[in-house]
């Protein structure tokens, strides 16, 4: 039977854009379905060039609006008056949490999804990470190792453009990078001090998907550091700047927006998915699209949500859920301020321009055979050094001409290290369909049931001590160090629920990101993650997506799906 398309890609964010690009470039006719509004690259970045005094609330935003419409989103530090149009309206898009739990789910429903608002940090996972579940028994063993993904990391980095420094570290594999952004004067000093005292530790510039060299019609970064408003220079990777134009150039892409996928439809005779049922959120119109393969790229939790509500006689508990594990083992990263320190040094030195990345101190704990501390796996630090700005005037005494004159100069140096600790995969941390609550269209809400565990708290406690020790060694005076994780979701690295694994009885997707149960459905966003590592995960999602696209097209050509 003929199908409307060769492939349907559900979602247009970081991985949806990649799936659309790879599949269309391999000759497939692709439908990409985005639930949110269309955002045109450049012309729709309406706040991009605004100065604070041109904004009704000076960039701070209207707390009354935020309380009514953005109760969760507005807790995110990337959410401002400039960027509020790139985040979801919480009132119109509710979710629930299990009793006694909290979860901040930060979302961007729009063409480009969170590729417009992401933090752009781009790190490879290592074999420490891919081997961790097998080694310590948490979760299920990843069915792949670094060697499987390395060529696809190469492929992705070459295309999106990542600037960074190769360091030869086992915990953070090297990549294919544009020239690194520069460490500032205090960061250089801290690097020397830390590496002298702890030779196994490294301070390096953040590897970021911001260009330092022009690339295929995209400009080099202008050092504005207002990326989340949208960048008409195309200087950071987003769907709009990068994968969407590539997919559109093939002539093989059909893009629809304002259309939410309600279910992936299953044909019990062929034991394959045969399309998706969609709802136009503007008109309320429902219809079906058919295709030979489906790529699930709705964002980790929404991919789970769609699969959970895709119920049929064959899959009463959700498509591809014969294991009963769909929605389980969700993760985030446990994150908090490791340490903040003030510095008396370098008072006659400063920086100019806004570098859109910080520094990273990659994982140094529990590598190889050595076990340090009372926790498994590890954490890394991200942060940087800066000279205080006018905002210090809010917390300093003084009024009058002297106060004003003091704030005229750059303030003291301070350095911040933020901890990101690995979140262990646990069966009890899970998603389910809310048993009672429904959305405006009658669909059951997604319910999040997540808490950080003792291992995460122990890792953050160790991290707080180590961050304080390192900043002290660099000559700083530590003024703050925290060791309790933020509410779940705070790292905006929510992932898991359709974890990859060898065994269909204990995992949801296989080594090629196919649903074990329905091999023409590929889950290649964060839902497929079997462990979280402690790195920012988006680059891994992209590599998994590109790899799965390659496999999908081969299998299609061989007539195997």
Taking CB under 8 A as the criterion, which residues in 204-223 touch other proteins? 222-223
Asked if 475 interacts with other proteins (CB under 8 A), we say: no
Least distance in angstroms from the C-beta of 54 to other proteins: 9
Q: Which of 95, 76, 96 is nearest to 86 (CA)?
A: 76
Q: Which of 181, 179, 163 is nearest to 123 (CA)?
A: 163
Element (H, E) at 295: strand 286-296
How long a stretch of residues is the chain? 561
Least distance in angstroms from the C-beta of 413 to other proteins: 9
**One residue of 226, 359, 528, 529 binding other proteins per CB under 8 A:** 226
Asked if 62 interacts with other proteins (CB under 8 A), we say: yes
Taking CB under 8 A as the criterion, which residues in 406-425 touch other proteins? 407-411, 414, 416
- Report d(CA 76, CA 423) in Å as an integer: 20
Count CB-CB contacts under 10 A for residue 434: 18
Rg (CA), the chain: 23
**One residue of 399, 435, 436, 558 binding other proteins per CB under 8 A:** 399
Given a contact cutoff of 8 angstroms between Cβ atoms, the answer to whether 32 and 16 are in contact is yes
Asked if 58 interacts with other proteins (CB under 8 A), we say: yes
Least distance in angstroms from the C-beta of 400 to other proteins: 6
**Applying CB under 8 A, which part among 45-53, 141-149, 359-367, 507-515 lies near other proteins?**
45-53
**Applying CB under 8 A, which part among 119-127, 134-142, 161-169, 400-408 lies near other proteins?**
400-408
Nearer to other proteins, 388 or 506 (CB): 388
Asked if 234 interacts with other proteins (CB under 8 A), we say: no
Asked if 164 interacts with other proteins (CB under 8 A), we say: no
- Report d(CA 510, CA 518) in Å as an integer: 10
Look at the block and give the residue holding tokens 């299990």. 98
Name the phi and psi angles at 199, rounded to 5.
-60, -20
Per-residue tokens: 31: 């439908």
First to last CA, the chain: 14
Nearer to other proteins, 210 or 328 (CB): 210
CA distances from 39 to 13, 243, 278, 305 (A): 12, 14, 20, 24
Nearer to other proteins, 223 or 280 (CB): 223
Strands 286-296 and 5-10: parallel
**One residue of 46, 151, 398, 503 binding other proteins per CB under 8 A:** 398
Per rule CB under 8 A, count of chain residues that contact other proteins: 60
Asked if 370 interacts with other proteins (CB under 8 A), we say: no
- Report d(CA 74, CA 513) in Å as an integer: 34
Asked if 165 interacts with other proteins (CB under 8 A), we say: no
- Report d(CA 503, CA 55) in Å as an integer: 54
Nearer to other proteins, 393 or 504 (CB): 393
Strands 96-97 and 444-449: parallel
- Report d(CA 242, CA 41) in Å as an integer: 10
Provide the mask over 342-361, with x wherever binding to other proteins is found by CB under 8 A and - wherever it is not. Answer: ------xxxxxxxx--x---
**Applying CB under 8 A, which part among 23-31, 136-144, 181-189, 521-529 lies near other proteins?**
181-189
* Angle between helix 14-25 and helix 538-557 axes, rounded to 10 deg: 30
Provide the mask over 73-112, with x wherever binding to other proteins is found by CB under 8 A and - wherever it is not. Answer: ----x-----------------------------------
**Applying CB under 8 A, which part among 128-136, 180-188, 289-297, 481-489 lies near other proteins?**
180-188
Nearer to other proteins, 135 or 354 (CB): 354
Per-residue tokens: 176: 């294919």
**One residue of 147, 313, 316, 401 binding other proteins per CB under 8 A:** 401
Asked if 465 interacts with other proteins (CB under 8 A), we say: no
Nearer to other proteins, 356 or 501 (CB): 356
The residues near 218 (Cβ < 8 Å, ≥ 6 apart) are: 161, 211, 233, 234, 235, 241, 242
CA angle 139, 141, 143 (to 5 degrees): 135
Nearer to other proteins, 53 or 313 (CB): 53
**One residue of 40, 91, 135, 182 binding other proteins per CB under 8 A:** 182
Alpha carbon 117 to its chain centroid, in Å, reads: 9
**Applying CB under 8 A, which part among 170-178, 262-270, 398-406, 460-468 lies near other proteins?**
398-406
Asked if 49 interacts with other proteins (CB under 8 A), we say: yes
Nearer to other proteins, 107 or 189 (CB): 189
**One residue of 27, 40, 43, 52 binding other proteins per CB under 8 A:** 52
Nearer to other proteins, 68 or 135 (CB): 68
- Report d(CA 263, CA 310) in Å as an integer: 5
Asked if 474 interacts with other proteins (CB under 8 A), we say: no
Per-residue tokens: 360: 């990273």
Per-residue tokens: 282: 């503007």
Least distance in angstroms from the C-beta of 341 to other proteins: 12
Alpha carbon 5 to its chain centroid, in Å, reads: 29
CA distances from 548 to 327, 384, 509, 554 (A): 21, 36, 11, 10
Asked if 395 interacts with other proteins (CB under 8 A), we say: yes
Nearer to other proteins, 362 or 384 (CB): 384
Q: What's the DSSP call for residue 335?
A: E
Question: What are the residues binding other proteins (CB under 8 A)?
Answer: 49, 51-53, 57-60, 62-64, 77, 181-185, 187-188, 222-226, 348-355, 358, 384, 386-401, 403-405, 407-411, 414, 416
């Amino acid at each position: 039977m003929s199908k409307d398309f060769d492939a349907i890609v559900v979602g247009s964010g970081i991985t949806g854009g990649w799936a659309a690009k790879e599949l269309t470039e391999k000759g497939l006719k692709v439908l990409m379905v985005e639930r949110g509004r269309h955002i045109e690259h450049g012309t729709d970045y309406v706040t991009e060039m605004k100065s604070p005094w041109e904004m009704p609330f000076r960039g701070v935003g209207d707390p009354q609006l935020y309380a009514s419409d953005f109760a969760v989103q507005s807790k995110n530090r990337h959410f401002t008056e400039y960027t509020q149009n790139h985040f979801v309206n919480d009132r119109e898009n509710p979710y629930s949490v299990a009793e006694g739990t909290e979860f901040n789910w930060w979302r961007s429903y729009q063409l480009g999804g969170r590729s417009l608002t992401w933090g752009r940090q781009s790190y490879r996972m290592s074999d420490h990470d891919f081997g961790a579940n097998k080694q310590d028994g948490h979760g299920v063993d990843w069915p792949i190792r670094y060697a499987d993904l390395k060529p696809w990391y190469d492929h992705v980095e070459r295309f999106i453009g990542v600037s960074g420094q190769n360091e030869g570290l086992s915990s953070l594999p090297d990549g294919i990078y544009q020239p690194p952004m520069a460490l500032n004067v205090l960061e250089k000093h801290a690097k020397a001090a830390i590496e002298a005292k702890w030779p196994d530790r490294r301070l390096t510039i953040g590897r970021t998907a911001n260009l330092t060299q022009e690339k295929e019609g995209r400009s080099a970064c202008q050092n504005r550091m207002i990326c989340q408003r949208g960048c008409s220079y195309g200087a950071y990777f987003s769907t709009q700047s990068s994968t969407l134009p590539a997919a559109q150039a093939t002539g093989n892409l059909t893009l629809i927006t304002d259309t939410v996928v309600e279910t992936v439809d299953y044909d019990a005779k062929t034991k394959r998915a045969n399309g998706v049922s969609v709802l136009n959120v503007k008109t309320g119109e429902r219809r079906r699209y058919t295709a030979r393969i489906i790529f699930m790229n709705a964002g980790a939790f929404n991919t789970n949500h769609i699969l959970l509500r895709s119920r049929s006689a064959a899959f009463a508990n959700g498509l591809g859920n014969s294991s009963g594990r769909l929605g389980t083992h969700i993760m985030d990263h446990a994150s908090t301020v490791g340490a903040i320190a003030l510095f008396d040094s370098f008072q006659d030195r400063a920086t100019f321009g806004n570098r859109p990345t910080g520094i990273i101190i990659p994982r140094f704990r529990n590598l190889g055979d050595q076990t340090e501390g009372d926790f498994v796996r590890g954490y890394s630090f991200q942060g940087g050094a800066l000279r205080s700005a006018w905002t210090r005037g809010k917390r300093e005494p003084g009024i009058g001409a002297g106060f004003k004159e003091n704030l005229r100069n750059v303030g003291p140096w301070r350095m911040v290290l933020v901890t990101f600790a690995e979140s262990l995969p646990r069966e009890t941390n899970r998603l389910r369909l809310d048993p009672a609550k429904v959305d405006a269209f009658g669909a059951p809400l997604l319910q999040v049931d997540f808490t950080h565990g003792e291992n995460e708290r122990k890792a953050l406690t160790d991290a707080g001590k180590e961050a304080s020790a390192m900043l002290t060694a660099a000559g700083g005076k530590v003024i703050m160090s925290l060791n309790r994780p933020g509410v779940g979701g705070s790292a905006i690295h929510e992932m898991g629920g359709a974890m990859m694994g060898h065994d269909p009885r204990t995992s949801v997707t296989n080594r090629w990101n196919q649903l074990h149960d329905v091999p023409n459905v590929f889950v290649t966003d964060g839902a497929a993650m079997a462990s979280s590592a402690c790195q920012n995960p988006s680059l891994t999602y992209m590599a998994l997506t590109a790899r799965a696209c390659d496999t999908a097209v081969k299998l299609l050509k061989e007539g195997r799906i």
